[in-house]
């Protein structure tokens, strides 16, 4: 079993244990826009947002939440080199978790990502990023919520570093 599979298995086990120990869990996905503010000036639009497909937030208290965002993507075609990507985001959110009107929160965290390429030359690239931002969360009833989020991420890559501006809108479901 490869180390990536072991890591993914440990992550899933940790999330399930965290959901069992937490008073509440928030599970959601996002629609977003990412603008890379480095030399390339790429803009990426995705549903779910590229780099974060599913997020699981574990309530630590009525004002604190730990959010885990794992992703896995694989792409291949006859014209392109097969590529896979695995990443893990971990963020701490501070703001009220419950309430019916728009509630602000702040976010700090990090993200690790590894891209693997196959073809005539197999290789992998790892990168790490630190992020911070703020957002609003609207609780709609006991189960559903809408979120908007603006985050700036500093990514450290082997070929240099870059800044990403991420604007998100998402839908969440709560377990409490």
* CATH number, domain containing residue 141: 2.40.160.20
Counting the structural domains of the chain, the total is 1
| Partners of 111 in the β-ladder | 89, 129
pLDDT for res 5? 57
Residue 78 pLDDT > 90, yes or no? no
pLDDT in tens, 37-77: 766 666 666 555 555 568 888 888 888 889 988 887 777 76
What is the model's pTM?
0.75
pLDDT at residue number 163:
83
- The model's pLDDT over 103-146, given as tens digits with 9 standing for 90+, comes to 899 999 998 888 887 777 777 878 888 999 999 988 888 888 89
Q: Which domain range does residue 97 map to? A: 3-174
């Amino acid at each position: 079993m490869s180390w990536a599979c072991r890591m993914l298995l440990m992550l899933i086990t940790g999330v399930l244990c965290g959901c069992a120990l937490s008073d509440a869990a928030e599970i959601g996905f996002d629609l977003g826009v990412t603008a890379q503010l480095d030399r390339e000036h790429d803009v990426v639009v995705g549903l779910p947002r590229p780099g974060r497909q599913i997020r699981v937030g574990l309530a630590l208290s009525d004002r604190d939440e730990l959010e885990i965002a794992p992703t896995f993507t694989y792409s291949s075609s006859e014209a392109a080199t097969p590529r896979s990507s695995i990443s893990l985001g971990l963020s701490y959110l501070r703001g009220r978790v419950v309430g019916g009107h728009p509630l602000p929160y702040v976010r700090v965290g990090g993200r690790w990502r590894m891209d693997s390429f196959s073809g005539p030359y197999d290789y992998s690239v790892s990168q790490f990023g630190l992020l911070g931002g703020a957002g609003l969360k609207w609780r709609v009833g006991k189960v559903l919520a809408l979120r908007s989020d603006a985050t700036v991420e500093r990514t450290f890559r082997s070929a240099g570093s870059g800044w990403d501006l991420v604007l998100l809108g998402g839908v969440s479901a709560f377990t409490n």
